[in-house]
């Protein structure tokens, strides 16, 4: 399995969309992220787990929050809640002899108090409905959640795994993920039942009656519990059958157009509203535009000619009205010139000029008049006003087309709706199947509660019976057959115990060797421990020096405990045999320089075929960066931008004084 791309959108400190290429090349398994504290390393790690496991993810910031509340809290605080957040992870894995590309997209928003997420899973670029619906089951095939801690871990918290109880818990989880000993445990339990029955026969009649009464009660309760288990399994199968039936009938209902039919009222309302809008707009076109000046746009050239003619007619009317007054004025002017004894040549020139002016006005009065309109009649119809009117008409016609298309689309949608009466029987079947499914789920829950109560009662009676048998255990056995059966039962029980112990011992020995080998390869004191042992009983891890003395884990330094914890996870990872990426936050913690060099050289390049490191500049510093660069495929720097109110992921690592080739 190889991660290809990881996308964060408005997630936590990451505002906007941030896509990160995680591909690696041959011999370069490491993807290195640099970030100062508070820049978003842990948020990045939480995002990887959240996109894979959803509500089952073990995110650092969740605490006891309900899952919807946690999702709402992860939306970047600088974006509107309704914009929401999302995560995407693309990876490739080998399935049935070929490589597949899986892309998981998980989105959610805070529009309402109840935050709901949407999960889509694409396989080779095609949305896979089955994967999307049942991703929580399928992800267990890719990265089982019970061993996810072996591959996703926080270096700041890893030291706690070196404590006895924490180490035992993770070791037990790892071993039980690799081995299955249920058959052996059931056989051992059956042998104990035989032993108990035979011991009852050894007691005196009164004691036998007391023990047998307790035994009968245990058997009855055990039978009842078994019967309930059988019913739970049977009912569980029925639940699964009902679930498949619901899925099938819902798919049939969807294919028959049921979802569209359920939208019939909404579509009818939309169509009615669209028709009303179109009717109002039609009235506007008819009563406002068409009844106004719009028709003049068809005869704009004629309108320009009319405007020219109207101007000429107005000038003619004005010239006619003024002509008689002008003649009187001209006569007075010539008379005045004569009385003033003005030179004859001048008087003649003035007279000719006045005559030419009168003739021009006479010509103007001869313009033919056929409009007979007021001079301002065409004033509202200037070129600019007609251009504005033409723009209004164009906009109105575009809106008319959009409204008509909307009505046509809704009419086609309405016409394609299936007949609700024909779908009614199918809708009833859907409701009935859902009702039966809910009843089956409720029945399983009730049976599980009854089984839990029955087991508690059986355990209580069994404890009472064992207590009574312990009180009577000193009585001598009277029946040789019982003694022989008990002796052989003890031998069989011992053999089973030896077999179980041998299987566990062989596997815990292998795991112990892997943990020791891992520790020796990353510590500067490889001879610190002679051996490491894991108890096959309680899975506690014991450390021994070369003198054979046990070394308590609390005596180790903080750095040594961190190395031991890394070794435990590395050993379990190697023992699991799964080819999964390793994601490590704060990888070097409190380690000194020599141990850091050991991890850089011997652990990170070998931890997995793909190793994602999230480090500060104080962990993988200038010197270590030069050493790890040769096995690094991708480098990124996470920095917080006050301007963008977001952490930004940019190519490259921290800038040091010296450059590295």
Residue (of 491, 472, 535, 432) closest to 164 by Cα position:
535
Per-residue confidence band for 368, with pLDDT thresholds at 50, 70 and 90: confident
Task: Assess whether pLDDT exceeds 80 at residue 273.
Answer: yes
Angle, vertex CA 368, rays to CA 362 and CA 374, nearest 5: 100
Over range 619-629, report the average pLDDT.
88
Q: What is the pLDDT of residue 161?
A: 62
| Burial label, 168 (beta-carbon count in 10 A; 0-12, 13-18, 19+) | middle
| Three-state DSSP string of 272-296 | HHHHHHHHHHHHHHHHHHHCCCHHH
Q: What is the pLDDT of residue 633?
A: 94
Tokens encoding 420: 């609700």
- Tell me how far apart the alpha carbons of residues 32 and 635 are, in angstroms, rounded to a whole number: 5
Task: Assess whether pLDDT exceeds 70 at residue 208.
Answer: no
Over range 121-143, report the average pLDDT.
86
Q: What is the pLDDT of residue 180?
A: 47
Domain ranges across the chain: 210-257+419-473, 260-293+380-417, 296-376
Choose between 28 and 474: higher pLDDT: 28
Over range 335-357, report the average pLDDT.
83
For residue 233, the surrounding DSSP H or E stretch is helix 205-255
Per-residue confidence band for 101, with pLDDT thresholds at 50, 70 and 90: very high
Q: What is the pLDDT of residue 660?
A: 43
- Tell me how far apart the alpha carbons of residues 661 and 659 are, in angstroms, rounded to a whole number: 7
Over range 70-84, report the average pLDDT.
90
Q: Which CATH architecture has domain 210-257+419-473?
A: Orthogonal Bundle (1.10)
Highest mean pLDDT among 298-307, 308-317, 457-466, 469-478: 457-466
Task: Assess whether pLDDT exceeds 60 at residue 421.
Answer: yes
Task: Assess whether pLDDT exceeds 70 at residue 199.
Answer: no
Task: Assess whether pLDDT exceeds 80 at residue 433.
Answer: yes
Report the chain's mean pLDDT, rounded to a whole number: 79
Task: Assess whether pLDDT exceeds 80 at residue 173.
Answer: no
Q: What is the pLDDT of residue 75?
A: 92
Mind listing the pLDDT tens digit for each residue in 569-603?
777 777 766 677 888 887 676 677 777 788 888 88
Q: Give residue for tokens 């049939």.
A: 252
Q: What is the pLDDT of residue 661?
A: 40
pTM of the model: 0.51
Choose between 574 and 474: higher pLDDT: 574
Over range 161-187, report the average pLDDT.
63
Angle, vertex CA 536, rays to CA 532 and CA 538, nearest 5: 95
Over range 539-551, report the average pLDDT.
85
Task: Assess whether pLDDT exceeds 90 at residue 121.
Answer: yes
Task: Assess whether pLDDT exceeds 50 at residue 73.
Answer: yes
Over range 186-212, report the average pLDDT.
65
Choose between 222 and 637: higher pLDDT: 637
Helix (H, G, I), strand (E, B) or coil at 490: helix
Cβ atoms of residues 113 and 40 within 8 Å: no
Choose between 250 and 658: higher pLDDT: 250
Q: What is the pLDDT of residue 658?
A: 46
Tokens encoding 608: 């997995």
Residue ranges of E strands in 520-610: 531-534, 541-544, 582-585
Q: What is the pLDDT of residue 16?
A: 93
Over range 234-241, report the average pLDDT.
81
Distances (CA, A) of 532 to 364, 386, 507, 525, 528: 125, 97, 13, 15, 11
Task: Assess whether pLDDT exceeds 50 at residue 55.
Answer: yes
Percentage, residues of the chain above pLDDT 90: 14
Q: What is the pLDDT of residue 6?
A: 96
Choose between 190 and 156: higher pLDDT: 190
Helix (H, G, I), strand (E, B) or coil at 550: strand
Per-residue confidence band for 145, with pLDDT thresholds at 50, 70 and 90: low
For residue 194, the surrounding DSSP H or E stretch is helix 182-201
Choice among 50-54, 324-328, 401-405 with the minimum mean pLDDT? 324-328
Q: What is the pLDDT of residue 10?
A: 94
């Amino acid at each position: 399995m190889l991660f290809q791309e990881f996308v964060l959108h408005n997630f936590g400190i990451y505002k906007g969309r941030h896509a990160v290429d995680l591909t690696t090349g041959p011999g370069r398994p490491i993807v290195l992220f640099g970030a100062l504290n508070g820049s978003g390393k842990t948020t990045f790690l939480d995002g990887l787990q959240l996109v894979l496991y959803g509500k089952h993810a073990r995110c650092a910031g969740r605490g006891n929050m309900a899952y919807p509340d946690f999702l709402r809290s992860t939306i970047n605080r600088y974006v509107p809640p309704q914009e929401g957040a999302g995560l995407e992870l693309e990876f490739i894995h080998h399935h049935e002899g070929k490589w597949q590309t899986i892309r998981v997209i998980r989105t959610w928003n805070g529009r309402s108090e109840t935050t709901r997420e949407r999960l889509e899973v694409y396989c080779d670029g095609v949305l896979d409905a089955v994967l999307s619906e049942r991703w929580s089951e399928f992800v267990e095939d890719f990265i089982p959640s019970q061993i996810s801690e072996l591959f996703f871990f926080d270096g700041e918290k890893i030291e706690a795994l070196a404590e006895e109880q924490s180490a035992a818990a993770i070791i037990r989880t790892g071993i039980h993920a690799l081995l299955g000993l249920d058959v052996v445990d059931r056989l051992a339990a059956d042998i104990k039942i035989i032993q108990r029955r035979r011991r009852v026969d050894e007691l005196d009649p009164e004691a036998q009656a007391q023990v047998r009464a307790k035994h009968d009660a245990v058997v009855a309760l055990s039978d009842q519990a078994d019967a309930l288990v059988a019913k739970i399994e049977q009912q569980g199968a029925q639940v699964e059958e009902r679930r498949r039936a619901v899925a099938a009938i819902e798919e049939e209902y969807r294919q028959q157009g049921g979802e569209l039919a359920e939208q019939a009222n909404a579509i009818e309302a939309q169509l009615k509203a669209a028709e009303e809008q179109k009717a109002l707009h039609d009235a506007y076109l008819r009563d406002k535009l068409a009844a106004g000046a719009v028709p003049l746009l068809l005869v704009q050239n004629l309108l320009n000619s009319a405007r020219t003619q109207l101007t000429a007619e107005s000038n003619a009317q004005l010239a006619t009205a003024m002509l008689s007054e002008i003649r009187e004025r001209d006569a007075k002017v010539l008379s005045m010139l004569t009385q003033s004894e003005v030179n004859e040549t001048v008087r003649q020139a003035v007279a000719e000029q006045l005559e030419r002016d009168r003739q021009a006005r006479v010509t103007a009065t001869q313009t033919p008049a056929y409009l007979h309109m007021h001079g301002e009649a065409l004033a509202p119809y200037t070129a600019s006003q007609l251009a504005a009117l033409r723009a209004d008409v164009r906009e109105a016609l575009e809106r008319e087309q959009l409204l008509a298309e909307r009505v046509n689309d809704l009419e086609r949608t309405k016409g394609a709706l299936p007949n609700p009466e024909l779908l009614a029987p199918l809708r009833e079947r859907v409701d009935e199947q859902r009702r039966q499914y809910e009843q089956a789920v409720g029945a399983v829950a009730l049976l599980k509660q009854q089984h839990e109560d029955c087991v508690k009662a059986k355990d209580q009676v069994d404890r009472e019976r064992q207590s009574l048998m312990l009180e009577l255990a000193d009585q001598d056995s009277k029946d040789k057959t019982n003694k022989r059966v008990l002796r052989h039962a003890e031998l069989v029980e011992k053999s089973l115990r030896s077999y179980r112990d041998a299987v566990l011992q062989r596997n815990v020995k292998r795991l112990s060797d892997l943990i020791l080998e891992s520790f020796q390869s990353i510590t500067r004191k490889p001879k610190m421990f002679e051996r490491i042992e894991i108890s096959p009983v309680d899975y506690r891890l014991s450390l021994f020096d070369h003198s054979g003395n046990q070394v308590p884990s609390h005596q180790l330094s903080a750095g040594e405990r961190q190395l031991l914890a890394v070794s435990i996870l590395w050993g379990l990872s190697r023992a699991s045999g799964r080819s999964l990426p390793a994601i490590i936050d704060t990888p070097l913690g409190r380690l000194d320089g020599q141990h850091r060099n050991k991890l850089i050289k011997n652990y990170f390049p070998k931890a997995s075929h793909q190793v994602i490191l999230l480090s500060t500049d104080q962990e993988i510093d200038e010197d270590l960066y030069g050493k790890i660069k040769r096995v690094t495929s991708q480098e990124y720097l996470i920095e917080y931008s006050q301007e963008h109110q977001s952490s930004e992921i940019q190519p490259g690592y921290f800038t040091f004084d010296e450059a590295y080739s």
